[in-house]
């Protein structure tokens, strides 16, 4: 047991808490139940849409708050939006004008609990399968609401490094991060998972330094940097491993479950 002053755990979802089939293992579910009974704060901080994160949180019996859209919104247990930092409208307009007809990119807009696309293509269908629900189709984004996040999906074969570089040079009003090699997450400047962690911790009278955080992507770097005990998955990029206190194995082998169990003195019997 090495918990010391640690009082909570923040999980990234895909590639971290979730297995490759997008489920949570029975062992992790059991550990979460044990930690919840001990009064440990358990939260989810994901780039997924709010509706998807909410479903997973409720399935684990988590009280909240939790965060979606790469930290752009924080949601309470009653579905209320506790914190929200939408993209500037002028920035959204510029991005849609530049990439709205670029066939190399699938544009996805997220507003609160809504996911909006202008057409359903192969890349959108893959995302639909992952998160478990279909988007609203609005050709040309004619009636879009205030936008919290834009996700740009490129083809897996080419990746999204070229697009991330273009976006970083395009506008200083946005934060650009990759949750997968071909998934480019765009939020308002200075909005990221680390900020969301600090907000969630403070809402429970805690500091982010009292929270264990686990992730596997480039967009998890701010999350791990903000936490008191950062954990990276074995398949994480080197940039994330460099900021981790501990590197575990795969999201399919329960090595993360074992590590968190040891931290809080709740290791599973074998």
| pLDDT category of residue 77 using cuts at 50, 70 and 90 | confident
pLDDT tens for each residue of 30-39: 999 999 999 9
The span from the first CA to the last CA of the chain, in angstroms, equals 17
Q: Do domains 8-84+191-263 and 89-188 have the same CATH topology?
A: no
Sign of CA dihedral 102, 124, 167, 144: positive
| Cα distance between residue 151 and residue 159, in whole Å | 14
DSSP secondary structure of 162-199: HHHHHHHHH-TTEEEEEEETTEEEEEETT-SHHHHHHH
Read off the pTM. 0.92
- Residue 45 three-state SS: strand
- Is the separation of the CB atoms in 118 and 142 below 8 Å? no
Does domain 8-84+191-263 sit in CATH 3.40.50.1000? Answer: yes
DSSP secondary structure of 81-140: EEEE-PPPHHHHHHHHHHHTT-TT-EEEEEETTEEEESS--HHHHHHHHHHTSPPEE-GG
Mean pLDDT for 59-75 is 95
Domain ranges of the chain: 8-84+191-263, 89-188
pLDDT at 54 over 70: yes
| Cα distance between residue 49 and residue 57, in whole Å | 12
- The domain at 89-188 falls in which architecture? 2-Layer Sandwich (3.30)
pLDDT at 114 over 70: yes
Which comes out higher in pLDDT, residue 267 or 225? 225
């Amino acid at each position: 047991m090495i918990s010391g002053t640690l009082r909570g755990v923040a999980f990234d979802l895909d590639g971290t808490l979730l297995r490759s089939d997008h489920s949570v293992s029975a062992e992790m579910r059991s550990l979460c139940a044990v930690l919840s009974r001990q009064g440990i704060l358990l939260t989810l901080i994901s780039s997924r849409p709010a509706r998807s994160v909410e479903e997973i949180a409720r399935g684990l019996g988590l009280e909240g708050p939790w965060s979606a859209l790469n930290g752009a919104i924080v949601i309470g247990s009653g579905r209320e939006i506790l914190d929200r930092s939408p993209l500037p409208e002028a920035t959204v307009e510029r991005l849609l004008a530049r990439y709205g007809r670029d066939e190399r990119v699938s544009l996805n807009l997220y507003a609160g609990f809504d996911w909006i696309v202008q057409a359903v293509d192969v890349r959108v269908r893959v995302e639909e399968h992952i998160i478990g629900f279909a988007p609203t189709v609005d050709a040309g984004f004619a009636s879009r609401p205030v936008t919290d996040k834009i996700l740009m999906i490129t083809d897996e074969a080419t990746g999204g490094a070229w697009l991330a570089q273009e976006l970083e040079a395009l506008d200083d009003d946005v934060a650009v991060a990759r949750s997968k090699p071909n998934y480019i997450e765009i939020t308002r400047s200075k909005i990221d998972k680390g900020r969301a962690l600090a907000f969630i911790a403070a809402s429970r009278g805690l500091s982010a330094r009292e929270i264990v955080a686990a992730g596997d992507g480039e967009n998890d770097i701010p999350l791990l940097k903000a936490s008191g005990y950062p954990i990276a998955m074995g398949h994480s990029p080197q940039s994330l491993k460099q900021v981790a206190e501990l590197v575990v194995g795969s999201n399919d082998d329960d090595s993360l479950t074992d590590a968190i169990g040891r931290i809080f003195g709740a290791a599973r019997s074998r």
